[in-house]
Amino acid sequence: MHLFLLILFIKAPGGNLKTIQEINQKIKNGDAVVVTADEMTSIVAQNGAKKAAEEIDVVTTGTFGAMCSSGAFLNFGHSDPPIKMTKTFLNGVEAYSGLASVDAYLGATQPSQNPEIGLHYGGSHVIEDLIRGKEVELIADAYGTDCYPLKRVETSITLDKINQATMINPRNCYQNYAVAINSTDETLYTYMGTLLPKFGNVTYSSAGTLSPLINDPYFNTIGMGTKIFLGGAEGYIISEGTQHATENERRNGVPVSASGTLMLQGDMKKMNPEYIRGATMPKYGPTLYVGAGIPIPILNEDVATRTAISDEEIICKIIDYGVPRRSRPVIRETNYKELKTGKIEIDGIEVPTSPLSSYKRAKMVAVELKEWIEKGDFLLTNPVRPLSSKGNSVKPLEISKPSVLVKNIESKPVIMAYPGEKINDVAKKLVDNNINHLPVVDNDGKLKGIVTSWDIADGVAKGKSKLDELMTRKVVIAREDESVDIIARRIDKHNISGLPIVDKENIVKGMITAEDISRLIGENLKDENGGESI
């Protein structure tokens, strides 16, 4: 039965011209013809897929980008007397210790516990430091048992001092991905990098034509057990990655959005820091840059055609990250040829584009893997089972207690001011209505600015007489369909006490303040405790 499944799997659509075993024999003999994925694009364009399938044996792929869902299992060895670690810190970064006595999993995105360091150093940096051979401080606490009496350990480790350091990355090598832009009036700090306001820039994260899963979009040649290049050493695909999706729209066979993913495994002790780098996305947090490459055996004409896909044929969507929702609006479609030019046109305006991944290092991965194969140092593997190519979709997290939206908050009639009003009249509105903020609007009710009681006092002190001389014109706003949780974070982020609520036409509908949110939280706590406040 197992043999039948294996033969069925490696018989890719189109009828095989060769097998993995035959290709491996050519590798051993030094006769295998190996090219990188970008080279294959040109070869097929010139000679056709049929001839390319006959002449080319292996196509190597590569990617080098931020892969947050990464980490490592570490075994530190037993101390004397022994300890059962319950809290473990490496250079001040916590590793999860709920495994066994001296095992821990270090997540790449875990930030430092030191508030002075914060998001600038995390698990990804510890992983890189270990691979570079640096000493890392280990502090572990325990509750103590008869067989594990020690309650605290403070020491230093290096990669060669510990027993195992196995990289297990739950989700790497996304098959295509979103392209990010920001429609709001403020700079956003995201896992897609820093997004400038008002469509100020576009960021993307893919190697395009070199990207592994784009070159085998239906997983015809790769699966569980496929040997790969991971971090400068041999690694393996151990499963589909988390959030592996197969049911998304495709163009030229390739999904136009985030789809397939891989769970990868490799030995950190053999890795090269050139291909594993700790990094921090500004004001977002740590991430790990991972170099990964997969060899694609050219079994037949269909596989040759797939590996010849060009940047222009890889379609992707520009997504507005200014909308803080799980499903964000699509601004337009593009392709990697256009993105790699460094600019793109949106609504008649030229917007700069920049990659978060490194094409240069992705090419280094593909070239080094090619050299390993040509030297006979790397043989291909028959997967033990295929990866799922259909039937997988990503489910959302269902929240039993949905977030309260801004439009659901009971609001008093909004008091507004107009740019031409005198300061004394505006001050009277603030006092008469016992409020501290006034949105400033035009005759159609559209937001033009905001003024606070402090602004009025400051204006009077400086001898100003009209509102438009002192109002704040760049206003942080709240939308009616936004969650109150998001507004609370926005208030904290900008150190302000209130925001105008506007609709899609920028017409002011109300105000939401820090006091409103505090009152809402208090009411929710009271409801949860049977009417008793806490």
Active site residues: 147
Vertex 214, ends 14 and 292: CA angle to 5°?
A: 120
DSSP 393: -
In this structure, the strands spanning 63-66 and 349-355 are unpaired
d(CA 224, CA 3): 15
CA distances from 235 to 71, 224, 260, 293 (A): 14, 12, 18, 10
d(CA 181, CA 284): 16
d(CA 355, CA 349): 20
Q: How many residues does the chain have?
A: 534
d(CA 152, CA 357): 41
CA atoms within 13 A on the CB side of 225: 7
Q: Write out the H or E segment, with its range, that includes residue 351.
A: strand 349-355
d(CA 449, CA 438): 9
Smallest Cα–Cα separation from 253: which of 206, 217, 288, 305? 217
339 and 88 in contact (C-beta within 8 Å)?
Answer: no
DSSP 242: T
